[in-house]
Structure 1
Amino acid sequence: MLLNLDPLLGPDLLYALRAMGHRQDIAIVDANFPCEPDSRVIRLDGVSATDALEAIVSVLPIETEEEAGAWRMIAYDDPLRILPIFDEFAQIVDRAAPNRGVTAIPPDEFKVRARDGCVTVVTGERRLYGGIILRKGVIPPAAQ
């Protein structure tokens, strides 16, 4: 047991988060997401994507020096359609990195980004389009 860590952050996930470098991506995806057989996959069965996101952003800085630091899929080919899970993702990201937002991208682009990322966390999320990708930022030096 460790102090001040979300219990969803098990050893494999903590190792992956710590091993990630600046500007590498982590995908948090729903239970229906197709994962490449050779990709690095960590399973959080029975955990919602939003709970996984909350746990991960409690220790992972989100990139702030690029145009975007978080992405989600466009639902049903309609960029203006906002599903409830998209609002939840945006609120969680905003608490972790104020005013960053979550950028909507087509599902095919999302799948390529997830495949090319450092790690994919497969959750038990059953809501459709229940995935988000985060780009790791940096922890700034202490003020002197």
Structure 2
Amino acid sequence: MLKGIPPIISPELIKALMEMGHGDEIVLADGNFPAASHSTRLINGYGHGVEEFLSAILKLFPLDTYVKCPVALMDTVEGDVKNPAIWEIYEGLLKKMSDFPVQIEKIERKQFYERSKDAYAIIATSEPLPYANIILKKGVL
């Protein structure tokens, strides 16, 4: 254990966060996301939800200020709920924990999957809520 590091941040996750450079992305994936087949660097986050990881990571992780949208969500599919409740929670956390107004983009499901394949790492969680997937782009200090 280390002082100031949230206990949900495992040694494997802290290593990945520290290795990431400016512009690298990390995916926080819900329980339905095909994380294992979309990543070469899979981090076990089972037993926890995406919101818990987002809150802990934002304490340590600078978001990219050089892009319009340093955060991306998987957009809903036609016929599903348009604005899942989890998105409002994410917006609140980002507003509270970021040093600047964060714009969030929504990416079509298959495009989100493809972008995830290029991410530095994917955290596979046990999040049961649909459309809880989120991508964070790392900035500089």
* TM-score of the two chains, using structure 1 as the length reference: 0.90
Give how far 1:77 is off.
Answer: 3.0
- 2:74 match: 73
1:135 and 2:132 aligned: no
- 1:110 match: 112
Q: For residues 112-134 of structure 1, what are the alpha-carbon distances to aligned partners after superposition, in whole Å with 9 as ceiling and x for unaligned?
A: 11111000001110111111000
Aligned mates of 1:86, 1:63 — CA distance in 2: 20
How many aligned residue pairs are there? 139
Percent identity between the two aligned chains: 27
Consecutive unaligned residues in structure 2, runs of 5 or more: none
Aligned mates of 1:70, 1:99 — CA distance in 2: 11
The 1:78/1:110 distance shift into structure 2, 3 A limit, reads farther
Which secondary structure state, in structure 1, belongs to the residue aligned with residue 55 of structure 2?
A: helix
| Root-mean-square deviation over aligned CA pairs | 1.7
Aligned mates of 1:73, 1:32 — CA distance in 2: 12
- 2:58 match: 57
- 1:124 match: 126
Aligned mates of 1:7, 1:72 — CA distance in 2: 25
Aligned mates of 1:125, 1:26 — CA distance in 2: 16
Give how far 1:76 is off.
Answer: 2.3
- 1:89 match: 90
Q: For residues 82-116 of structure 1, what are the alpha-carbon distances to aligned partners after superposition, in whole Å with 9 as ceiling and x for unaligned?
A: 11001111111222323113211111111111111
* TM-score of the two chains, using structure 2 as the length reference: 0.92
Q: Which amino acid aligns with 1:10?
A: S
- Contact kept in structure 2, 1:77 and 1:106, CA below 8 Å: no
The 1:87/1:16 distance shift into structure 2, 3 A limit, reads same
